[in-house]
Every structure is written in structure tokens, then in C-alpha cells.
């Protein structure tokens, strides 16, 4: 894959993660929808926590979408998703989806910034 194709693919993955975390997961935390209270009861969460969790999720995703803060955003998203994994494990729900999102976060960033791939593989030399 050419460097340009890698960069474009990285931005596509980054955009898809951003759309999902903000549009499909973050914003609904501020809305009242059918089944919300049942889901929160099942998870053992108070409805008053949802806006706080939504703000955190949107904030770390915005950091990830900004090129200068993308690395910090990826680290913070990873921590956020770790909490999601723990929540799902605690209640016995499937726990793998947040891990997949986390992998896509890092893959998108690594394709945009190849130095991350070199660091992950333990290589310090430039190609």
C-alpha cells in the first residue's frame, strides 16, 4: 500500500470511529429513548451519569480527531473503552465490541502516522 493510500485509509478509519463514538454512542447519552432506563438498570448505572459519560466520550473523541492531539486522544479513548469492557464483563454482557473499536482507533492512527507502527514493533530507525 502506498503512503498516500495508507494515510487516506487511516483517515477513513478515524472518521468512522469518530462518527460512531460521537454520533451513535456519545450524543444518545444526552437523549431519552425507549429502553434507556432498562439498559441503565441492567448496567447498574444512574441516569444522572449518562451526560457526564457522554461529555467524556465526545471530548476524548474530538481530541483523537484533531491531528495535533490524536495520540493523546487515542490513549484516552483506550482508557474509556477499557471502562466499557469492565462494565460489560461485570454484568455478563458481550465485552469484545469496545476492544474492536479500540483496535480500529489505533489502526487508524498508525496508518496516518507510520512512526506509531515502528514504535509498536520496537523499531527506532526511519525507513
For 92, phi and psi rounded to 5 degrees? Answer: 80, 20
What is the reported pTM? 0.92
Q: Please write the tens of the pLDDT for every residue from 66-115.
A: 999 999 999 999 999 999 999 999 999 999 999 999 999 999 999 999 99
Element (H, E) at 51: helix 49-65
pLDDT digits (tens, 9 = 90+) for 12-66: 999 999 999 999 999 999 999 999 999 999 999 999 999 999 999 999 999 999 9
Q: Which three cell numbers stand for residue 126?
A: 526511519
Predicted confidence band of residue 124 (pLDDT cuts 50, 70, 90) = confident
CB distance 59 to 12 below 8 Å = no
Amino acid at each position: 500500500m502506498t503512503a498516500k493510500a495508507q494515510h487516506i485509509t487511516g483517515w477513513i478509519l478515524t472518521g468512522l470511529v469518530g462518527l460512531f463514538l460521537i454520533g451513535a454512542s456519545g450524543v444518545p447519552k444526552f437523549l431519552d429513548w425507549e429502553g434507556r432506563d432498562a439498559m441503565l438498570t441492567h448496567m447498574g448505572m444512574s441516569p444522572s451519569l449518562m451526560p457526564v459519560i457522554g461529555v467524556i466520550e465526545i471530548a476524548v473523541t474530538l481530541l483523537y480527531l484533531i491531528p495535533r492531539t490524536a495520540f493523546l486522544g487515542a490513549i484516552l479513548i483506550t482508557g474509556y473503552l477499557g471502562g466499557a469492557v469492565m462494565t460489560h464483563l461485570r454484568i455478563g454482557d458481550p465485552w469484545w465490541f469496545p476492544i474492536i473499536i479500540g483496535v480500529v482507533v489505533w489502526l487508524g492512527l498508525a496508518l496516518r502516522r507510520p512512526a506509531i507502527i515502528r514504535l509498536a514493533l520496537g523499531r527506532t530507525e526511519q525507513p
